[in-house]
Amino acid sequence: MSETELRVPGALHAELAERARNIRRKVLAMASGRGQGYVGQGLGVADLLTCLYFHELHYDPAHPADPGRDRFVLSIGHYSIALFAVLAEAGILADEELATYGEDGSRLEMSSMASTPGVEITGGSLGHGLGVAAGMALGARWSGRSFRVFNLLSDGELQEGSTWEAAMFAGDKALSGLTALVDVNRTQADGDLVLEVEPVRDKFESFGWWAMGVDGNDIAAVVNALRSAREETCKPKVLVCRTRLGCGVPLIMQRERAHFVRVADEEWAQAARQLEERI
């Protein structure tokens, strides 16, 4: 057992692991219903979002727009499949609605819309989430509210100038209510990253942030990293999370082009079997 696992009670670890499994099941069900989707991303960040929604964020599922809620800002709109699965697991969306993912007229678009309960911003155009999240964190300070703001962004978004303007702003204003989680899966649309983004931690630190690296598919490590970030009260915080696209389902993990997955009918059943076998 690793040192980080020892610092997370077994019951908590088991509860979060079960949540993450449910979220992966929902991701596969949503994508197989359409025959396609951003399934690799959904599986890749399932552990991260589980730890965030079921061990860190303060919110009331019955009142998803409560002004005192902690905010989760998804800048990578195409990761909406993961967010919808988590919102259903949290009881903010109904499980039945997940079957409409990507359908014409559905509230569950393949790129997230702010009109969906539990979704804070409309996504699609990359590189804006960190700026919005920083603005929200400043708004909390100005209005004397204690809510915190978490932003999930991608390594591809680190190639956007707007991300670094936001990082500079948050560092300068010492926005300690802001925590960014960077999903470093080392891929973007056509395969590997087209521009190198490392060293990510050093870059954020040079903008005045507190930074830590973590295995984003290790539940115990993520729980501990979120706690360490919570304990830093002077600076904006960033967790640089290494994740694996398709984590939990070898069939998706092994795909060469796993950015947007189209899978044959029989392969969805195989993917679902692989997820259960791994459990």
Beta bridge mates, 73: 151
- Within the chain, residue ranges assigned H as helices are 3-6, 10-34, 39-44, 46-55, 80-89, 129-142, 161-172, 200-206, 219-231, 250-253, 265-278
In our burial notation (b when 16+ CB lie closer than 10 A, e otherwise), range 180-213 reads bbbbbbbbbeeeebeeebeebbebbeebbbbbbb
CB of 111 to ligand TPP, least distance (A): 8
CB of 201 to ligand TPP, least distance (A): 17
Closest CB to ligand TPP among residues 28, 92: 28
> Which residue's Cβ has the minimum distance to ligand TPP?
156
Give me the DSSP letters along 150-175.
EEEEESGGGGSHHHHHHHHHHHHTT-
- Residue numbers at the binding site for ligand TPP (CB under 6 A): 41, 76, 78, 124-127, 154-157, 185, 187-189, 259
Q: How far apart are CA 98 and CA 24, in angstroms?
A: 13
CB of 233 to ligand TPP, least distance (A): 30
Q: Are 181 and 236 in contact (CB under 8 A)?
A: no
CB of 182 to ligand TPP, least distance (A): 10
Six token digits for residue 46: 């399932």
Q: What does residue 238 show for φ and ψ, rounded to 5 degrees?
A: -135, 135
Closest CB to ligand TPP among residues 162, 228: 162
Closest CB to ligand TPP among residues 3, 192: 192
Q: What does residue 262 show for φ and ψ, rounded to 5 degrees?
A: -110, 125
Closest CB to ligand TPP among residues 127, 177: 127
CB of 124 to ligand TPP, least distance (A): 6
Closest CB to ligand TPP among residues 158, 222: 158
CB of 202 to ligand TPP, least distance (A): 19
The number of CA neighbours under 13 Å toward the Cβ of 107 is 14
Closest CB to ligand TPP among residues 109, 157: 157
CB of 269 to ligand TPP, least distance (A): 25
Closest CB to ligand TPP among residues 125, 146: 125
Q: Are 241 and 211 in contact (CB under 8 A)?
A: no
Q: How far apart are CA 102 and CA 37, in angstroms?
A: 8
Closest CB to ligand TPP among residues 38, 54: 38
Q: Are 107 and 116 in contact (CB under 8 A)?
A: yes
CB of 188 to ligand TPP, least distance (A): 3
